Structure 1
Amino acid sequence: MTDSEKRRGRGTDKRRRLTAAAAKVLHEQGVERTTLADIAGEAGVPVGNVYYYFKTKDDLVKAALTEHTAHLAELTGRLDELADPRDRLKALVEGWIEQRETAARHGCPTGTLAVELDKRADDVLDLQVGGVIRKLLDWAEGQFRELGLPDPGGLAVTLVAAYQGMSLLTNALRDPEIMTQQGDRIIRWLDSLTAESTPAPDRSAP
Structure 2
Amino acid sequence: MTNSVDRRALASQKRRRLTTAAARVLHRQGVERTTLADIAHEAGVPVGNVYYYFKTKDELVRAALAEHRARLDDLTGTLDRLPDPRERLKGLVTAWIAERDTAARHGSPVGTLATELGKRADGTLAAEAGAVLRRLLDWTAAQFRALRAPAPDDLALTLISACQGTTLLTHTLQAPALTTHEGERLLHWLETLGPADGNP
What is the TM-score with the length of structure 2 in the denominator?
Answer: 0.96
SS in 1 for 2:38: helix
Structure 2 match to 1:6: 6
Q: Cα deviations across residues 168-187 of structure 1 (Å, max 9, x unaligned)? A: 00000000000000000011
Structure 2 match to 1:84: 84
**Are positions 1:40 and 2:43 aligned together?**
no
Structure 2 match to 1:30: 30
Q: How does 1:67-82 map to 2 (within 5 A)?
A: 67-82=67-82
**Are positions 1:189 and 2:193 aligned together?**
no
**Cα distance between partner residues in 2 of 1:162 and 1:123:** 25
**Cα distance between partner residues in 2 of 1:96 and 1:146:** 21
Deviating above 2 A after TM superposition, structure 1's stretches of 4 or more consecutive aligned residues are: none
Q: How does 1:1-206 map to 2 (within 5 A)?
A: 2-194=2-194, 195=198
Query: CA RMSD for the aligned pairs?
Result: 1.0
**Cα distance between partner residues in 2 of 1:174 and 1:196:** 41
**Aligned-partner residue type, residue 66 of structure 2:** T
What is the TM-score with the length of structure 1 in the denominator?
Answer: 0.94
**Cα distance between partner residues in 2 of 1:162 and 1:196:** 25
**Aligned-partner residue type, residue 140 of structure 1:** T
Structure 2 match to 1:203: none
Segments of structure 1 that go 5 or more residues without pairing to the other structure are 198-206
Structure number with higher relative contact order (C-alpha < 8 Å, ≥ 6 residues apart): 2
**Cα distance between partner residues in 2 of 1:108 and 1:188:** 23
**Cα distance between partner residues in 2 of 1:114 and 1:185:** 26
**Cα distance between partner residues in 2 of 1:183 and 1:196:** 25
Segments of structure 2 that go 5 or more residues without pairing to the other structure are none
**Cα distance between partner residues in 1 of 2:130 and 2:21:** 21
Alpha-carbon offset, residue 193 of structure 1? 1.1
**Cα distance between partner residues in 2 of 1:180 and 1:135:** 24
SS in 1 for 2:32: coil
Q: Cα deviations across residues 145-203 of structure 1 (Å, max 9, x unaligned)? A: 00011111111111110000100000000000000000000111111112466xxxxxx
SS in 1 for 2:82: coil
Alpha-carbon offset, residue 3 of structure 1? 0.2
**Cα distance between partner residues in 1 of 2:95 and 2:72:** 12
**Aligned-partner residue type, residue 8 of structure 2:** R
Q: Cα deviations across residues 61-82 of structure 1 (Å, max 9, x unaligned)? A: 0000100110011000000111
**Cα distance between partner residues in 1 of 2:6 and 2:53:** 18
